[in-house]
Amino acid sequence: MKKKSGRVLIVDDDADVLQAAALYLKQHVEAVCTERDPTRIPQRLGSEAFDVILLDMNFARDVSSGREGFFWLDKILAIDPQAVVVLITAYGDVDLAVRAIKEGASEFVLKPWQNEKLLATVTAALKLRSSRSEAESLRRRQQQLSADLDFPFHDFIGSSPAMQQVFQTIAKVGATDANVLIIGENGTGKELVARALHRSSARAGEIFLAVDMGGISETLFESELFGHVKGSFTDARSDRVGRIELASNGTLFLDEVGNLPLSLQAKLLRVLETRQVTRLGSNVPVNVDIRLVCATNMPVADLVNRKQFRQDLLYRINTVEIHLPPLRERDDDLKELAEHFVGQFCRKYRKAEKTIGEAALKKLSGYHWPGNVRELKHSLERAVILSETPVLQPGDFLFSQAPEAAEELVFRDLNLEQAEEILIRRAMGKYQGNVSQAAKELGLTRAALYRRLEKYGL
């Protein structure tokens, strides 16, 4: 026998109506509660949970207008916006029914009712309540997931004048829907800025979706961004929603946007202009509503001059530009960042509290940090793990100070991984963090270089 489910509250000042409805519905739902006095509705809702509320529209004080029913409908929805309310009346008409639905009722039934009709209405209302509860649960889970994913990005630190300027711009722009272009070397925290913009916007409760354009092969750009339908190309075995469509109502962050091929730049421009996206292989446009934040480590103006980036798209994506300074230009922030990361990693690895000695800080300050804050964080994590003393010393940090020393290290130790890391550091330093140019010099694809940057924490 199928287990009965659903809790129903019936509110009507007619005892016979309450008894008849309760006796019948008890055969089909888990619990039925009745209430003759509508003024007790807030108290009942405060102490018990109901899936469906059957509410009379006309009580003794207001026999036929339905005003009391609308009054209590508003009260119920104020207490529980997800409530499913079915209004009942002996004096219903089409106009009243339409108004009831517009004001938040889920259904409208007339009395005397047919039992089959009443049961069908309550069953549909229970399904609606279940759907609303699932949707609310998913929304809360999404918010919690976003908060969990966002947590590491709350340590956006800097008291230097350059970073204070960045913070001020975020404060001014965040609450708007303006498209933002973030410019800075790899490892400077471009995604931190994008997430800060999202957190301070009206879209903060919606999705933040980051897409690394440097990590997508050119053959998959269109499918990843715009989606595709089954059969649109050889490996399209099912429909796929693109990243732009997934980010609708939230913020879409395109990292390394300079890698986007020219042919798809035109398509992205159309999306931004029409607020519609068309999946690969489809002719049906889908409405989207995104706040676009882009980032690049390339000089976009140079790309425009070389005809590698559309000027009209550049105008679209950089309503506001935010320039992130490299770590070597943030001397005032290095100590604060270092102390923050040391504390973070001591907690993460359950280490006794550690501090950074002055000599170690001097060594950190003298290094050029081609990998910026990302490299600093990686160096401090390694130091916290390996150090056996409560105060970190210069010897806890190993990095090449000069190209000559790097070359000597490579050929003396014959350590391939160490040599690879040094060569990558030099290439990234030479091209000021430009992944495309560094990859070309190293004879690697962008994706291969990104994997190595991740491997060495650069």
Check which CATH number belongs to the domain holding 134 and give it: 3.40.50.2300
Residues 190 and 281 in one domain: yes
Least Cα distance to 197 among 112, 115, 291 occurs for 291
Instruction: Calculate mean pLDDT across residues 419-440.
Output: 79
Q: Give me the helices (H) in 49-208, please.
A: 67-79, 94-102, 115-150, 161-173, 190-199
CATH of the domain at 384: 1.10.8.60
Nearest to 252 by CA among 282, 193, 292: 292
Whether residue 238 is found in the same domain as residue 337: no
| CA–CA gap between residue 56 and residue 130 (Å, rounded) | 23
Residues 343 and 418 in one domain: yes
Confidence of residue 432 (pLDDT cuts 50, 70, 90): low
Q: Does some domain include residue 347?
A: yes
CA atoms of 31 and 176, how far apart (whole Å)? 48
Q: Which domain holds residue 401?
A: 328-455
Helix or strand run (H / E) with residue 244: helix 243-246
Same domain, 312 and 177: yes
Are 319 and 332 in a shared domain?
Answer: no
Q: Is there a domain that residue 73 lies in?
A: yes
447 and 357, same domain (yes or no): yes
- Range among 220-229, 424-433, 448-457 with highest mean pLDDT value: 220-229
Instruction: List, for residues 310-323, the tens digit of each pLDDT value.
Output: 999 999 999 999 99
CA atoms of 185 and 321, how far apart (whole Å): 14
Query: DSSP string covering 387-449, please?
Result: --SSEE-GGG----SSHHHHHHHHHHH--HHHHHHHHHHHHHHHTTT-HHHHHHHHT--HHHH
Q: Is residue 147 part of a domain?
A: no
CA dihedral 22, 25, 26, 32 (to 10 degrees): -60
Residues in the chain: 458
Residue 434, both tokens? 């430009």
**Which amino acid is present at 28?**
H
- Lookup result for tokens 């010897």: 395
Q: How many domains does the chain have?
A: 3
pLDDT averaged over the chain?
Answer: 84
The answer to whether position 145 is within a domain reads: no
pLDDT at 411 over 60: no
Do 233 and 170 share a domain, yes or no?
yes
The answer to whether the pTM exceeds 0.75 is: no
pLDDT above 70 for 80: yes
Rounded to whole angstroms, the maximal C-alpha distance in the chain is 98
The Cβ-side half-sphere exposure at 147, using a 13 Å CA radius, reads 7
> Is residue 149 domain-resident?
no
* Amino acid in position 282: S
Residues 285, 413: one domain?
no
Q: Are residues 242 and 342 in the same domain?
A: no
Instruction: Give the domain CATH number at 208.
Output: 3.40.50.300
Final residue of a structural domain among 111, 138, 165: 138
- 160: number of Cβ within 10 Å: 16
Assess if residue 292 is contained within a domain.
yes
Pair (73, 178) in one structural domain: no
Which of these three, 293, 323, 353, is where a domain ends?
323
pLDDT at 400: 55
Tokens of 62: 């207001």
Query: Where is the domain boundary, 138, 169, 199?
Result: 138
141/108 Cα distance (integer angstroms): 33
Contact 295, 243 (CB under 8 A): no
Residues 171 and 285 occupy one common structural domain: yes
Identify whether residues 379 and 407 lie together within a single domain.
yes
Residue 143 lies in a domain: no
User: What is the residue-wise DSSP string for 292-310?
Assistant: EEEEESS-HHHHHHTTSS-
Instruction: Report how far residue 70's alpha carbon sits from residue 67's, in angstroms, rounded to the nearest whole number.
Output: 5
Residue 62 has pLDDT above 70, yes or no: no
Is residue 325 reached through a cis peptide bond, with omega within 30 degrees of 0 on the bond before it? no
Residue 437 in any domain: the answer is: yes
Check whether 404 has a pLDDT greater than 60. no
Distance of CA 373 to the CA centre of its chain: 23
